[in-house]
Chains A and B, each alone.
Chain A
Amino acid sequence: MIEVKDLYFTYPNGVEALKGISLNISDGEFVAIMGQNGAGKTTLVKHFNGLLKPSKGKVLIDGADTKDVSVATLARKVGFVFQNPDHQLFCETVEEEIAFALRNFGFKENVIKRRVTWALNLLGLKNYRKTSPFMLSGGERKRVALASILAWNPKILILDEPTIGQDYNQKEKLRQFILQMKAQKKTIVIVTHDVEFVAECNPRVILMSEGKIVADGEARKILTSPGILEKASIIPPEISRIFLELSDFGFPTNVIDVYEAGGIILDFWEAKNR
């Protein structure tokens, strides 16, 4: 469980990025932290694995105060997948890349062998075992980075802006992957400003603006209420924007899915023609 108690954080250059954040994330939850660039999303999640320590307030991971524990120790529980895989790839082969963290954590060689094979298979990288990560395409490098984090099976997984630069198919695969992790009872936290992606996944949404939490609830509710979205400078999902314009005619405002929307429109249309 992740507990954040009245968290304040100021960067060394004086910018106060977090102004009193309190929240709890239970085991197995799927949470999307959303907001404009600069709202404090990445700053917040960097407290979950101890990369940043609070200026004021507390962050507890399974009861342990992050101030008292090293990043390496917290990393055993909290896997953080950075936005740009090129900030971590450095090994000669994909295999070594995946084994890196396992070696750091002191796993035995036979366990490492097993885990590497498992991670390679999970992310469809079997054929690239002995390939240099630098020879792979952008999408493949992202998968190697992901595999290298999953290898040690952290119970909490943080993905920072996983949808940037991804095309439609890649986002679909990502969505499936997240569902798979959820089925394995992992706690999943994604930081994103991709409203459509979150709308499709329908997780719990924590909306941030200027260092504070402005909303916390089900994606469907939060992403379709216009007032709150104006506060956090986010564009509502397409379907919900359409239905907002039609609210005068009695259309519901919390629709996100195309087919659901289509069904409702047809019903209204039929009713009108009668």
Chain B
Amino acid sequence: MSMFEGLKFRRVSSPIHDLDPRVKFLYVIIMFAIAVMYMELIPLIMLFLIQLPLVMVAKVTKQWIKSMRGAAFLASIIFFTNFIFSYLYRGQQELPFILEYSMAMTLRFIVLVGSFSIFFLTTSPDHLGLALEKSHVPYEFCFAFTTAVRFVPVLAEEAQTIMDAQKARGLELEKGNFLKRIRNYIPILIPLIVNAIRRSLELAEAMESRAWGATKNRTNLYELKLRMGDYTLILLTIIILILAIYVRLYVPIPRITEIFP
């Protein structure tokens, strides 16, 4: 579960945290696009290294490393799958190439996880919700998103209370074979779901009572303005993209084996 730790927002004061989420998301998309452009190890290593200064400026290094660790399992699956299939296809002679190729594919995945991780670690859910609103995503969707996030801790606590209540009636969640254990979760799930439905009804009442749907032109307490830092990141991202396209088209990329025979 530590991969998910790397996705949870960390309330820290850093210039990255203050950036517009739309700009950060642009960065993530472009990093992903560049990663897909390349199958060679060296450019992918450089792409990975580019993330690091951003992580440090954002002061989320520890959590970011945790997300890397969490991704390690999936990363190793990607490595071994690529390795085995390349080996079967190309044979023993091309071993160095196969290794380099498998590592490159794995690194592509890690770059993706890394950039998404920076995004979620530095973007608070309400900031993200605001960005969604400003991006002309229909308000119902944005509202559903932020409300869901708002209720996550509430539901988690309620699940715990329900478990306690049923344990106090002799329910033993740890015992029994696989099937019995699944059945034992019914006394937890049903109250959870029923209460969630009840809660939704109460929420709907409260929403209506506060003029929900009064106008299609909803206004907003907050503004999302692009600032210096945002333009800087946009510029940097575009520069990296242009460089990457240039290198892809005109610069031959050596294999690691050619540099270190």
Contacts and interface: CB of A to CB of B under 8 A. Distances in A.
Query: Do any CB atoms of chain A lie under 8 A from CB atoms of chain B in the complex?
Result: yes
A261 interface: no
B195 interface: yes
A88 B169 contact: yes
A100 interface: yes
Interface stretch (A68-76, A191-199, A265-273): A68-76
B165 A101 contact: no
B191 A100 contact: no
Contact of B195 (A49, A78, A86, A104): A86
B187 A90 contact: yes
B196 to A, nearest CB: 11
B18 interface: no
Interface stretch (B23-31, B39-47, B156-164): B156-164
Nearest to A79: B168
Contacts of A89: 191, 194
Contacts of A49: 168
Contact of B170 (A51, A82, A87, A104): A104
Interface in A62-108: 70-72, 75-76, 78-80, 82, 84, 86-90, 100-101, 104-105
Contacts of A88: 162, 165-166, 169, 187, 191
B190 interface: yes
Task: Assign chain B's interface to a size class.
Answer: 10 to 19
B194 A101 contact: no
A104 B166 CA distance: 10
B172 interface: yes
A75 B168 contact: yes
Interface residues of A, number: 26
A100 B187 contact: yes
B191 A72 contact: no
B155 to A, nearest CB: 12
Interface in A40-78: 46, 49, 51, 70-72, 75-76, 78
A149 B169 contact: yes
Interface in B157-193: 158, 161-162, 164-172, 186-187, 190-191
A148 interface: yes
B198 A105 contact: no
A148 B186 CA distance: 17
Contacts of B198: 86
A134 interface: yes
B192 to A, nearest CB: 9
B194 A104 contact: no
A104 B172 contact: yes
A253 to B, nearest CB: 40
Residue among A72, A79, A149 facing the most chain B CB atoms (10 A cut-off): A72
A75 B187 CA distance: 17
Residue among B169, B172, B194, B195 facing the most chain A CB atoms (10 A cut-off): B169
A51 B191 contact: no
Interface in B19-73: none
A87 B169 contact: no
Interface in B192-222: 194-195, 198
Residue among A49, A51, A90 facing the most chain B CB atoms (10 A cut-off): A90
Nearest to A76: B170
Contact of B172 (A72, A100, A134): A72
Contacts of B169: 75, 88, 100-101, 104, 148-149
Contacts of B170: 72, 75-76, 101, 104-105, 152
B6 to A, nearest CB: 20
5 contacts: A71-B168, A78-B168, A79-B168, A80-B165, A90-B191
Interface of B: 158, 161-162, 164-172, 186-187, 190-191, 194-195, 198
9 closest A-B pairs by beta carbon, nearest first, are: A104-B170, A90-B190, A101-B169, A80-B168, A88-B165, A87-B165, A82-B165, A71-B167, A72-B170
